[in-house]
C-alpha cells in the first residue's frame, strides 16, 4: 500500500473525508490523526445530549471500531502533528514517529476563544471536546446557579441545558441581541424572548468588567452590579486551529486559505472544515462555515478534490436545539440582510429568507424544517452555474 492520504483531525470533516475516499473507490493508504483518545464522534452532542442526558461517548461515535477496520482506515488517536517537510511530504508526530503522505488534508477544526486572563479551572469552564462536556455536566448537576458569557449558538445551548437541569442561569452578552452577527434584529429579539420566557436572566449590551473566581464560586461584575454563581461558562466563539498549517507554510487569513478545490498554497496539502477559509460562491472574499453539516459536506468534497474530481460549491447549513425549539440556518444570513418572512416570528414558527441587493443569500427558521429545506434548495440552485471547473 502506498503512503496515501493522511488526514489531520478526527472531526466530521476529517472522518467524513476518510469514508468518502473509500466510497469513491480509493484503495491507497488512509490514515486519520487526532489528539483525542476517542474514535471520531458527533460533536453537536457536546452541547446537547451530553449535557442534558449524560450521553455516553460510545453512543455518539460516527462509526464503530469495526467499521473503520473494515474500511481499512487507520486511526491514530492521542497523537498530534508537530510539523513536517512538505517538500519530502513527511510529517513529524508527537510520539516521535514520522509519517509519509502523497496528499495531506488539514481538518484541524477550531478551539474555544478564551477571554484574556481567564483560564479554565474549577469555577471557569469552556466547551470544545468530550472531556469538557463531561466536566461541565458534572459541575452543572451540582450547581444552583451558572453564568454564561456569550449568547451565540453554544452559549444559548449551554443555557438551555442548564435550565433543563434546574440551574438558575444568567447570560451576559456584549452585543445588543443574541446571535447579533448572523440574524436580523427582529429574529434576535425573538430569541431573547425565548430565553427570558424560560427563566434565563439575559443581560444584553454588557461585557464583563471583571471576573473573580474563588473557592466557593465566581463573581462577574457587569453593568454596575455583581452576579454571583457557582460556575462561569465562557462561550464567546471559536478560533480556527491554523498552527500546523502555519508551520507547514500554508497561507492563513482567518483560517487556512483554500481555493474552490480545497487546495492550500502548499502543493499536496488540502484543508476543510472549521479551519478552512473558502472562496465565497455568492459574495466577494472568503468565508468560514463553523457548523457540523458544512464540515461534513466539505470533508466529502475535499476527498473528491484529492482524487482529482471537481466538487461543486455547496450551501452551508446547521441547526440548534434551544429551550425545546429547533432553530436552523442555511447559506450566509447576517444581521444587515433584508428578510422575507413566511409564518410568524412572534409565534415562533417561521422561515426568514435573507437577501442582499435583492438576491437570496441565506435563511433562518424556527420550528419550520420543511420551509428551511426549501430555502436551502433555492440557494443551491443559485450555485449551480458556479460549479467548480
Domain CATH for 353: 3.30.390.30
Can you state the angle between helices 185-197 and 153-164, rounded to 10 degrees? 20
Q: Cell triple for residue 202?
A: 439575559
Residues 250-272: what's their mean pLDDT?
97
pLDDT at 192 > cutoff 70: yes
Q: What is the CATH number of the domain that holds 157?
A: 3.50.50.60
Average pLDDT, the chain: 94
pLDDT class of 387 with cuts at 50, 70, 90:
very low
Q: What is the pLDDT of residues 16-45, one digit of tens each?
A: 999 999 999 999 999 999 999 999 999 999
182 and 203 part of one domain: yes
Torsion 125-128-133-137 (CA) sign: positive
Record the pTM.
Answer: 0.94
147 and 243 part of one domain: no
Q: What is the pLDDT of residues 69-80, one digit of tens each?
A: 999 999 999 999
Establish if 76 belongs to a structural domain. Answer: yes
Establish if 360 belongs to a structural domain. Answer: yes
94 and 15 part of one domain: yes
Q: Cell triple for residue 345?
A: 416570528
What is the domain extent for residue 343? 317-386
102 and 244 part of one domain: yes
Q: Cell triple for residue 293?
A: 453539516
Establish if 164 belongs to a structural domain. Answer: yes
Among residues 263, 283, 306, the one where a domain terminates is: 306
Other Cβ atoms within 10 Å of 76 Cβ, number: 18
The pLDDT, as a whole number, for residue 2 is: 55
Establish if 345 belongs to a structural domain. Answer: yes
SS3 percent helix, strand, coil of the chain, rounded to 5, is 25, 30, 40
Among residues 218, 234, 250, the one where a domain terminates is: 234
DSSP assignment of 13-29: HHHHHHHHHHHTT--S-
127 and 203 part of one domain: yes
Establish if 116 belongs to a structural domain. Answer: no
The pLDDT, as a whole number, for residue 388 is: 45
Establish if 311 belongs to a structural domain. Answer: no
137-142: long-range contacts (C-beta < 8 A, 24 or more apart)? 137/50, 137/51, 137/54, 139/230, 139/231, 140/51, 140/165, 140/167, 140/231, 141/165, 142/230
Q: What is the pLDDT of residues 118-149, one digit of tens each?
A: 999 999 999 999 999 999 999 999 899 999 99
In order of 173, 282, 353, the CA distances from 369 in angstroms are 28, 23, 13
Rounded Cα distance between 5 and 21, Å, is 9
133 and 195 part of one domain: yes
Q: What is the pLDDT of residues 211-239, one digit of tens each?
A: 999 999 999 999 999 999 999 999 999 99
301 and 322 part of one domain: no
Q: What is the pLDDT of residues 272-297, one digit of tens each?
A: 999 999 999 998 899 999 889 999 99
Which position has the grid cell 453539516? Answer: 293
Among residues 306, 330, 349, the one where a domain terminates is: 306
Establish if 222 belongs to a structural domain. Answer: yes
228 and 131 part of one domain: yes
pLDDT at 384 > cutoff 90: no
10 and 102 part of one domain: yes
Q: For residue 70, what is the enclosing H or E element? A: helix 65-70
The answer to whether the CB of 252 falls within 8 A of the CB of 269 is no
Establish if 312 belongs to a structural domain. Answer: no
pLDDT class of 1 with cuts at 50, 70, 90:
very low
Interstrand relation of 90-93 and 81-85 (parallel, antiparallel or unpaired): antiparallel
How many domains does one find in the chain?
3
Which position has the higher pLDDT, 368 or 44? 368
276 and 337 part of one domain: no
Nearest to 266 by CA among 76, 388, 85, 141: 85
197 and 134 part of one domain: yes
Nearest to 139 by CA among 160, 124, 149: 124
145 and 229 part of one domain: yes
Amino acid at each position: 500500500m502506498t503512503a496515501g492520504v493522511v488526514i489531520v483531525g478526527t472531526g466530521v470533516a476529517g472522518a467524513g473525508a476518510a469514508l468518502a475516499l473509500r466510497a469513491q473507490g480509493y484503495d491507497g493508504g488512509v490514515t486519520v490523526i487526532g489528539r483525542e483518545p476517542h474514535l471520531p464522534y458527533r460533536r453537536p452532542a457536546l452541547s446537547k445530549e451530553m449535557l442534558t442526558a449524560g450521553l455516553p461517548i460510545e453512543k455518539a461515535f460516527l462509526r464503530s471500531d469495526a467499521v473503520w477496520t473494515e474500511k481499512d482506515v487507520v486511526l491514530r488517536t492521542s497523537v498530534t502533528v508537530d510539523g513536517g517537510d512538505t517538500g519530502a511530504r513527511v510529517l513529524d508526530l508527537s510520539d516521535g514517529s514520522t509519517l509519509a503522505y502523497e496528499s495531506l488534508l488539514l481538518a484541524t477544526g477550531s478551539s474555544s476563544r478564551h477571554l484574556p486572563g481567564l483560564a479554565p479551572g474549577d469555577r471557569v469552564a469552556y466547551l470544545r471536546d468530550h472531556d469538557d462536556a463531561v466536566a461541565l455536566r458534572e459541575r452543572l448537576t451540582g450547581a444552583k446557579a451558572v453564568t454564561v458569557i456569550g449568547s451565540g449558538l453554544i452559549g444559548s445551548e449551554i443555557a438551555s441545558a442548564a435550565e433543563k437541569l434546574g440551574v438558575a442561569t444568567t447570560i451576559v452578552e456584549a452585543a445588543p441581541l443574541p446571535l447579533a452577527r448572523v440574524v436580523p434584529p427582529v429574529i434576535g429579539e425573538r430569541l431573547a424572548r425565548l430565553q427570558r420566557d424560560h427563566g434565563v436572566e439575559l443581560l444584553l449590551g454588557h461585557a464583563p468588567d471583571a471576573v473573580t473566581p474563588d473557592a466557593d464560586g465566581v463573581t462577574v461584575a457587569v453593568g454596575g452590579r455583581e452576579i454571583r454563581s457557582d460556575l462561569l461558562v465562557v462561550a464567546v466563539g471559536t478560533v480556527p486551529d491554523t498552527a500546523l498549517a502555519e508551520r507547514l507554510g500554508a497561507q492563513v487569513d482567518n483560517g487556512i486559505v483554500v481555493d474552490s478545490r480545497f487546495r492550500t498554497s502548499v502543493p499536496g496539502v488540502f484543508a476543510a472544515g472549521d479551519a478552512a477559509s473558502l472562496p465565497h460562491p455568492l459574495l466577494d472574499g472568503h468565508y468560514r462555515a463553523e457548523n457540523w453539516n458544512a464540515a461534513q459536506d466539505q470533508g466529502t468534497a475535499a476527498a473528491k478534490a484529492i482524487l482529482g474530481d471537481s466538487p461543486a460549491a455547496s450551501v452551508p447549513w446547521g441547526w440548534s436545539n434551544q429551550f425545546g425549539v429547533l432553530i436552523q440556518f442555511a447559506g450566509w444570513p447576517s444581521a444587515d440582510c433584508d428578510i422575507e418572512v413566511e409564518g410568524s416570528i412572534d409565534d415562533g414558527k417561521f422561515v426568514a429568507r435573507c437577501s442582499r441587493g435583492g438576491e437570496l443569500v441565506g435563511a433562518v427558521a424556527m420550528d419550520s424544517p420543511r420551509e428551511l429545506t426549501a430555502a436551502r434548495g433555492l440557494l443551491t440552485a443559485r450555485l449551480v452555474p458556479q460549479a467548480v471547473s
